Structure 1
Amino acid sequence: MLNQLETAQQRWGGASKTIDNWLDERKQLLIQYCHLAGVNYQSAHALPSESEVNDFCAILMDYLSVGHFEVYEMLVSDDQDGQRLKQQIFPLISKTTDQALDFNDQFAEGYTQENANLFEDAVTKLGAALDDRFELEDQLIQRMHRLADHSLTN
Structure 2
Amino acid sequence: MLDSCQNAQERWGGVHKLIDRWLLERQELVVAFRALRDAKPAFADKAQSRDFCGVLVDYVSAWHFEVFEQLLSEAKAFDDKRALALAEDMNPRITDITQIALDFNDHCDKAECNDPERFAQTLQALGGHLRERFELEDCLIEVLHTAHKQEAALQA
Q: Which residue of 2 aligns with 1:34?
A: 34
Q: Distance in 1 between matches of 2:89 and 2:44?
A: 36
Q: Which residue of 1 aligns with 2:99?
A: 98
Q: Does 1:69 align with 2:65?
A: yes
Equivalent pair of 1:36/1:48 in contact (CA under 8 Å): no
Q: Which residue of 2 aligns with 1:49?
A: 45
Relative distance call for 1:65 and 1:46 in structure 2 (3 A) is closer
Q: For each residue in 1:33-90, what CA deviation from the matched residue of structure 2 results, as whole angstroms up to 9, or x when unmatched?
A: 0000112x3xxx6634111111110111111111100001212313421331122100
- Report the secondary structure of 1:15's partner residue: coil
Q: Distance in 2 between matches of 1:37 and 1:84?
A: 36
| Residue identity matched to 2:101 | A
Instruction: Give the alignment's TM-score, normalised by structure 1.
Output: 0.88
**How many residues are aligned here?**
149
User: How many Å apart are 1:105 and its aligned residue?
Assistant: 0.9
Q: Distance in 2 between matches of 1:140 and 1:127?
A: 20
Instruction: Give the alignment's TM-score, normalised by structure 2.
Output: 0.87
| Unaligned segments of structure 1, at least 5 residues | none
Q: Which residue of 2 aligns with 1:19?
A: 19
Relative distance call for 1:15 and 1:126 in structure 2 (3 A) is same
Q: Which residue of 1 aligns with 2:84?
A: 83
Q: Does 1:9 align with 2:9?
A: yes
| Unaligned segments of structure 2, at least 5 residues | none
- Report the secondary structure of 2:24's partner residue: helix
| Residue identity matched to 2:70 | M
Q: Which residue of 1 aligns with 2:145?
A: 145
Q: Distance in 1 between matches of 2:32 and 2:56?
A: 9
**Which structure has greater helix proportion?**
2
Relative distance call for 1:118 and 1:141 in structure 2 (3 A) is same
| Residue identity matched to 1:67 | W
Q: Distance in 1 between matches of 2:127 and 2:28?
A: 14
User: How many Å apart are 1:21 and its aligned residue?
Assistant: 0.3
